[in-house]
Amino acid sequence: MKLLQVADLKEHMKQINKEDKCNVFDGKWVYDPKQSPFYQGAQCPFLSDQVSCQSNGRADFMYEKWSWEAKGCKIPRFNGTDMLERLRGKRVIVVGDSLNRNQWESLACLLYSALPPSQAQVDVESGIYKIFTAKEYNCSVEFYWSPFLMQLEINQKNGARILRLDRVADSAKKWVGADVMVFNTGHWWVHNGKIKAWDLFQNGGKTVENMEIESAFEKAMNTWARWIDQNVDVTKTRVFFRSISPEHKGKLWCYNKTQPITDDSYETTFPRKIIEAIERTMQRMKTPVTYLNITKLSQYRRDAHPMIYKTKQWKQLAMQQRRPESSADCSHWCLPGLPDTWNRLLYASLLLDTSEVILSS
């Protein structure tokens, strides 16, 4: 494929990078059925049941057909063939919780649908959720399950679950050498009650039962930042951190919603101190980290969650419950859907570091 030097487009991309002129994360959703979605869910047989809303019986399609437009500049449309060319011979790792798995499934599907099926492979390996490989391009997109980014250990004597704030996850040895890294964390830190995943914190050789979550989280982020600074070659690797993916609960519950929120004043209720700790950490690091700040643009999209269509058995489950909406998934996202926009913005960010653009015919 020929790489075309396009001076005016290069200059346009430079403008996108200047936040005082254009912030690609600030804009509005526009209904655009001609441009969206980027693929059909049936094109990607590896999509998990949880995000396969159409095959699970969701009847409406409008949530697939919204396009994000930035204020003051045009965001490049995702080009799967171009992305594969840029990733030739490279590794992408996506590390974090199930929302980053959601993003991995989206990215894998965007690339998979740009290839003949014989040229793509999806594997499950020990310690890895899935690996997408594009054979001709010798590139991979890998997902590593690590909702805290830290090591969670089980005490063999008493079964206590110990969250190490001073040690990154064991899978970190597989992160080393990747060319693109996309991280997230946050949601599992604020879980309480039965869904809380740890019993004790350990930091610097000391084990404690109680610690303010914000303090524990900041210690963990500092550990992650130190690992990045010590292990990433900035001449080779781009590091991204994706912001909090908002849930839609309470008054803005996602159940049966088919339109985005249009109220600009709406904001997520996720603890602000957690978000601030992430932003402070990135500001202190010597390694440049690109912040994929998708929180605000995602807040509007309460229509794009799986809701009750998170399983093919949704009808049976609905009949078993008086209020089927009480079990609606208002955290994850249908595919095709919102995470495709996250990856479109990831793609745009990668374009900013290049002087060549591949134009689709």
Angle at 354 between CA 243 and CA 36, to 5 degrees: 55
- Tell me, what's the pLDDT at 22? 73
Catalytic residue IDs = 98, 329, 332
Strand partners, 70: 27
- Tell me, what's the pLDDT at 32? 95
Q: Give the model's confidence band at 325: pLDDT under 50 very low, under 70 low, under 90 confident, else very high.
A: low
Q: Which region among 50-54, 139-143, 260-264 has the lowest average model confidence (pLDDT)? A: 260-264
Q: Taken in order 20, 21, 24, 30, is the CA torsion positive or negative?
A: positive
What percent of the chain lies above the pLDDT cut of 70?
A: 87
360 has pLDDT over 60: no
Enumerate the H helices of 60-207 as residue ranges: 80-86, 98-112, 172-175
pLDDT, average across residues 150-169: 95
- Tell me, what's the pLDDT at 81? 97
pLDDT, average across residues 253-258: 93
Residue 346 makes CB contacts below 8 A (sequence gap 6+) with 107, 182, 240, 292
- Tell me, what's the pLDDT at 356? 37
- Tell me, what's the pLDDT at 118? 95
pTM of the model as a whole = 0.91
Q: Give the model's confidence band at 267: pLDDT under 50 very low, under 70 low, under 90 confident, else very high.
A: confident
Tokens of 123: 């594997």
Residue-wise pLDDT tens digits, 229-239: 999 999 999 99
At the second CATH level, the architecture of 7-351 is 3-Layer(aba) Sandwich (3.40)
Q: Where are the domains of the chain?
A: 7-351
Residue-wise pLDDT tens digits, 90-120: 999 999 999 999 999 999 999 999 999 999 9
266 has pLDDT over 80: no
Q: Give the model's confidence band at 316: pLDDT under 50 very low, under 70 low, under 90 confident, else very high.
A: low
What's the chain's Rg over C-alpha atoms? 20
DSSP reduced 3-state for 323: coil
Euclidean distance between CA atoms 100 and 96, whole angstroms? 6
